[in-house]
């Protein structure tokens, strides 16, 4: 499945990640397929994502990849948010991944 990127999301990724157009597409796909799902989080990270999920009306899929939160509506990237530093610092303890 091809990930679509809104103009707003492209601007945000260029601004917040410093990426060019081709890298924006690659990063969006990596975040969608390899990012941390909302259901895989716990603690402060889960609470923060839940707040963003409720605030963004059409968003139905938020993925954490690196120190950014990628907000998707189905297969369309809507925006990219910076995860707060306090949460990033403790991120490895706030994610439960079954391997």
Residues 14-24 pLDDT 10s: 988 888 888 99
> What single-letter DSSP state applies at residue 42?
-
Question: Which residues of the chain register pLDDT less than 70?
Answer: 56, 94, 96-99
Nearest one of 3, 1, 67, 71 to 38, comparing CA atoms: 71
Whether 32 is in a domain gets the answer yes
Whether 98 is in a domain gets the answer no
**What are the residues whose beta carbons fall under 8 Å from the beta carbon of 8, sequence distance 6 or more?**
78, 79
pTM: 0.86
Whether 81 is in a domain gets the answer yes
Whether 12 is in a domain gets the answer yes
Q: What is the pLDDT, as a whole number, of residue 56?
A: 64
Domain containing residue 64? 4-93
Number of domains in the chain: 1
Is the four-CA dihedral 77, 98, 85, 56 of positive or negative sign?
A: positive
Q: What is the pLDDT, as a whole number, of residue 98?
A: 54
Whether 99 is in a domain gets the answer no
Q: What is the pLDDT, as a whole number, of residue 97?
A: 63
């Amino acid at each position: 499945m091809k990930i679509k990127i809104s103009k707003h999301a492209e601007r945000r990724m260029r601004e917040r990640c410093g990426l060019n157009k081709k890298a924006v597409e690659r990063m969006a796909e990596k975040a969608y397929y390899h990012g941390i799902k909302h259901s895989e989080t716990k603690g402060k990270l889960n609470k923060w994502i839940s707040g963003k999920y409720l605030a963004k009306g059409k968003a139905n899929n938020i993925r954490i990849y690196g120190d950014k939160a990628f907000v998707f509506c189905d297969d369309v990237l809507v925006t990219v948010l910076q995860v707060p530093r306090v949460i990033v610092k403790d991120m490895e303890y706030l994610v439960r991944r079954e391997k």
